[in-house]
Structure 1
């Protein structure tokens, strides 16, 4: 298990810069301090209890909010107290995953010797994880590239460069070799990629366009949720730019451009300004947040939930520099059918509103 921990820590820097498929955390280590435990820094304590892990590695884990004491993330200088419960958590289960190539259809919008750009449908998990060890996009890519000599699905230097949530649709880039992965990852790190999303949100967004800035981190009350810490005490710096495309009474279609790429960034930022994504179950968007109390309206919204049974979020545009040629590549994925039908239904509501 120590080797798993080391591998995970090595990848933390990259993972904190991009959107993750889900926000679930898995406990890899748990210790309970003795009754007679004297005060000791948590990084020193863990270095003594986990064989083969340096304090520097543990400090990196703490910076990534992977060290919890009594279920609350702490910094590496936290002083352990008697009976404290110390956990080391990661965003993947503590087991080796065997990547099995699976013949799952992929909508490949572009491919060359270095990379592929895939239009991911809603409902497809990007990475294997708890409850989803097979049937993921990684399994599909492993099958697609099974005859490519340089590609090994288990090699972290290859493969998925960034992530989008299971129920978010849209564009994602896959590196076919280590050279491409390094260069593409650097572009995401340096914020030179171009990423634009479209989302249907609850409420009529007052300003035609705006900028949302606020640190994003895991909620201190519910570790499954990301939340905004406007004072900057917790979380990581995050900026989202939005522009209203269309207002439809109790909902708005917005375009969101990411300046940073935090976990659930758009979902958390839009909720923070009072415009939760439509049918976003995790953040409360699957409730009727705006509108009337008429039964006919409530039934209309329930029908909308059925048409698009997920958060109405689509990664529409992705742009980056081709690592080998230096060419600027830009891709756009059309809004998928479920969101298109949802938007048409709301437009019909506006045109014939009697509820």
Structure 2
């Protein structure tokens, strides 16, 4: 469920993944002006690039004549028609669902098993590559930019920027802009302390495995807060808040706690209750880079996590 103060873009036009028919919109011209300026006013809050794409793809008509010129002069009494249909059908997203999109950012819910970005071993099926194809339906020159990542085996919410300017702006002020990054983790054993904080300095081995140093300033400072939502003899369900966002941070800190994440053999797990990693990015909240409004997105706790308990947790 999404909680925020801004509405997601309607699924029409260049962002219609199914190619279904959408009724055209018509607007009557009441004063002289240029076509692009007129459209930006009538189609707000749709952005300039999106409107230019409609023009470029012949989806704008003036008095039933297709018009592609941005500065086409308009006269009072003329009728401007905007067709939202696109004949291009995008390939279906695999392991990925767009939960919010505007001209600045895309927020997605990623399945466990899908890479965020390419590696040397996997260059095709990634969240980044699929979303790049998605935004290029509107304009072949469109791009997306990485803001943060989720491990391949971690599911949940993540976001990308739609311009280098937004990427730089958000990354330069990440701690101030991102208000909440909350995960749920299914860990082995009963965590007896109902809440706590784990602090260490993370380092990486030559085999790319992260580990904690507890010597101050010996590595990247990492702080993880946790709260127990449900506990049984075999497993505990934790709500985990990141104060810092280091590589494999939660996985290492749960191992440090003595309760590794379920099915995380790399970091000490001995059980495999299901085929995926027991970690899910449940909540993402941030200040919108353009409007400054608080955007908050929340997903459900994965059912395989809950199935380890007789009762559902109160989250």
Q: Provide TM-score, normalisation by structure 1.
A: 0.58
**Counterpart of 1:133?**
123
Q: Which residue of 1 aligns with 2:296?
A: 330
* Secondary structure at the counterpart of residue 278 of structure 1: coil
Q: CA RMSD in A?
A: 2.1
Structure 2: 5+ residue runs without aligned partners? 1-89
Counterpart in the other structure of 1:229:
213
1:95-174 matched pairs, under 5 angstroms: 103-105=92-94, 106-149=96-139, 152-153=142-143, 158-174=144-160
Name stretches of at least 5 consecutive residues in structure 1 with no aligned partner. Answer: 1-100, 289-301, 349-355
Mark the CA change 1:223 to 1:234 in structure 2 (over 3 Å): closer, same or farther. Answer: farther
| d(CA) in 2 for partners of 1:194, 1:183 | 18
Deviation by residue 1:172-216 (Cα, 9 ceiling, x = unmatched): 011111232122213325474310000011121121100111111
Pick the aligned partner of 1:343 from 294, 306, 311. Answer: 306
Q: Is the 8 A contact 1:215 1:234 kept in 2?
A: yes
Contact 1:201 1:276 in 2 (8 A): yes
Counterparts of 1:199-348 in structure 2, within 5 Å, are 199-219=185-205, 223-232=207-216, 234-285=218-269, 287-288=270-271, 304=273, 308-336=274-302, 340-347=303-310
Q: Distance between the aligned counterparts of 1:191 and 1:232, measured in 2?
A: 27
Matches within 5 A, 1:62-101: none
Question: Retained in 2: the 8 A contact 1:103–1:143?
Answer: no
Instruction: Output one character per residue of 1:17-68: Cα deviation in whole Å (capped at 9) or x when no partner.
Output: xxxxxxxxxxxxxxxxxxxxxxxxxxxxxxxxxxxxxxxxxxxxxxxxxxxx
Larger Rg: 2
Q: 1:223: Cα distance to partner?
A: 2.6
- How far the C-alpha of 1:225 sits from its partner, in A, is 1.4
Contact 1:281 1:310 in 2 (8 A): no
| CA drift at 1:165 | 0.3
Which is further off, 161-170 or 138-147? Answer: 138-147
Against the structure 1 CA distance between its residues 151 and 117, is the aligned structure 2 distance closer, same or farther, given a 3 Å change threshold? Answer: farther
Greater share of residues in strand? 2
Compare the two structures and name the one with the higher helix fraction: 1
- Secondary structure at the counterpart of residue 291 of structure 2: coil
In 2, the alpha carbon distance for the partners of 1:245 and 1:150 equals: 46
The question of whether the paired residues in 2 share the 8 Å contact of 1:216 and 1:229 is answered with yes
**TM superposition shift of 1:247:** 0.5
Query: CA shift at 1:334, angstroms?
Result: 1.5
Counterpart of 1:177? 163
For residue 281 of structure 1, report the CA deviation from its aligned partner: 2.1
Q: Report how many aligned residue pairs link the two structures.
A: 221
